[in-house]
């Protein structure tokens, strides 16, 4: 495993690997690795000659007053994880390397219209511009590759897919299953900032989605009723403050009235000072049958894929 901090070194290393015929699997991250990150690294490892992981806590995607300073950091633990997962290159650029004009913001940014605006974009204006900008830059530095993202960040995945399509970037984007603890809590680096009481309360998002999944499997196809049930359960927890519960199409993220095709049920809440998101995908086929995908447990068990 080699550790690189300079964009120029990364480019030289990867260009030479590509000339030798190597395919590159790329996992962009902000560190504080958990089993979800490991699953992305394993997917990349299984399919590519060279696995590159970037670790950069991107200031551009944090708004004023957000948790940039409190975002979990674990350089020693992260190094151990990338070694265990057989990663070839860990790219850990500093802020000045990624944004040469720093502390001035970059003059060039990437905005993926419409997809960036609802859901998390409402409470975090500018967040997805920060994500799209850093991801575009990382793709430019890494070059042609297959990039792996978790489906927990469903809106981010939609934004990145559209960015790649609109700019014609030579990157294949792969969305990997959301990973949950055994009590259903979706894995997130931010879970490290939950105190035990909040950690228990945080499962409310999963409980809310399960209630929604039960409703769908019971035959409910009205998106408004589904949204209300999910929101009701999610507000039924003293330590959690619901930010949103939405039912939207997975491609354009626009609100739905009746469930059909691929539907994203997405929730976000604050537990203490920690902002958490979660989601499930409902698929309703033309014959009216439905399946619900809530991801996988850390043990690899698939959650609720009933038809």
Active site residue 37: yes
User: Using the rule CB under 6 A, is 41 a contact of ligand PAF?
Assistant: no
Least Å distance between CB 147 and ligand PAF?
9
* Residue 56 CB contacts under 8 Å (≥ 6 apart), including other chains: 28, 30, 91, 92, 93, 98, 134, 138
- The 8 Å CB, 24+ separation contacts for 39-43 are 39/150, 39/176, 39/177, 39/179, 39/296, 40/148, 40/149, 40/150, 40/176, 41/81, 41/82, 41/85, 41/86, 41/87, 41/148, 42/85, 43/148, 43/174, 43/176
Residue 30 contacts ligand PAF per CB under 6 A: yes
Tell me the number of residues near ligand PAF by CB under 6 A.
10
Q: Between 253 and 259, whose beta carbon lies closer to ligand PAF? A: 253
Please give the Cα distance from 205 to 30 (Å, whole number): 23
* Contact pick of 88, 153, 246, 293 for ligand PAF (by CB under 6 A): 153
* 174 binds ligand PAF per the rule CB under 6 A: no
CB of 244 to ligand PAF, least distance (A): 19
Q: Which of 37, 48, 102, 127 is catalytic?
A: 37
Binding residue (CB under 6 A) for ligand PAF from 134, 253, 282, 292: 134
Three-state DSSP at 112 gives coil
Q: How many helices (H) and strands (E) does the chain have?
A: 10, 12
Which of 58, 191, 193, 203 touches ligand PAF (CB under 6 A)? 58
By CB under 6 A, is residue 217 in contact with ligand PAF?
Answer: no
Least distance from C-beta 205 to ligand PAF, angstroms?
18
Q: Which of 4, 32, 51, 131 binds ligand PAF (CB under 6 A)?
A: 131
d(CA 247, CA 207): 16
Instruction: State the Cα–Cα distance between residues 87 and 280, nearest whole angstrom.
Output: 29
Peptide bond into 103 cis (omega under 30): yes
> Least separation, in Å, of the C-beta of 235 and ligand PAF?
27
Residue 28 sits in the site that holds ligand PAF (CB under 6 A): yes
By the criterion CB under 6 A, which residues form the site for ligand PAF? 28-30, 58, 61, 131, 134-135, 153, 156
Active centre residues (catalytic): 37
């Amino acid at each position: 495993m080699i550790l690189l901090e300079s964009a120029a070194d990364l480019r030289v290393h990867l260009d030479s690997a590509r000339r030798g015929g190597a395919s590159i699997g790329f996992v962009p991250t902000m560190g504080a690795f958990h089993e979800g990150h490991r699953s992305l690294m394993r997917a990349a490892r299984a399919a590519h000659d060279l696995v590159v992981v970037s670790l950069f806590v991107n200031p551009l995607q944090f708004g004023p007053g957000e948790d940039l300073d409190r975002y979990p950091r674990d350089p020693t633990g992260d190094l151990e994880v990338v070694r265990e997962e057989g990663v070839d290159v860990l790219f850990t650029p500093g802020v000045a390397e990624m944004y040469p004009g720093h502390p001035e913001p970059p003059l060039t940014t990437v905005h993926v219209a419409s997809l960036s605006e609802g859901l998390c974009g409402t409470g975090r204006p500018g967040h997805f511009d920060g994500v799209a900008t850093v991801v575009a830059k990382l793709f430019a530095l890494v070059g042609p590759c297959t990039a792996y993202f978790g489906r927990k960040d469903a809106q981010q995945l939609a934004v990145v897919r559209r960015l790649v399509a609109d700019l014609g970037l030579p990157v294949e984007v792969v969305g990997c299953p959301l990973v949950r603890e055994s009590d259903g809590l979706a894995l997130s680096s931010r879970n490290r900032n939950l105190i035990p009481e909040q950690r228990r309360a945080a499962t409310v998002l999963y409980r809310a989605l399960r209630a929604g999944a039960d409703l769908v499997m019971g035959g409910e196809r009205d998106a408004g009723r589904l949204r209300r049930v999910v929101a009701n359960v999610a507000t039924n927890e003293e330590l959690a403050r619901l930010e949103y519960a939405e039912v939207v199409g997975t491609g354009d993220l626009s609100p739905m009235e009746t469930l059909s095709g691929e539907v994203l049920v997405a929730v976000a809440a604050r537990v203490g000072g920690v902002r958490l998101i979660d989601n499930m995908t409902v698929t309703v086929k033309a014959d009216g049958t439905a399946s619900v995908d809530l991801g996988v447990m850390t043990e690899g068990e698939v959650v609720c894929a009933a038809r």
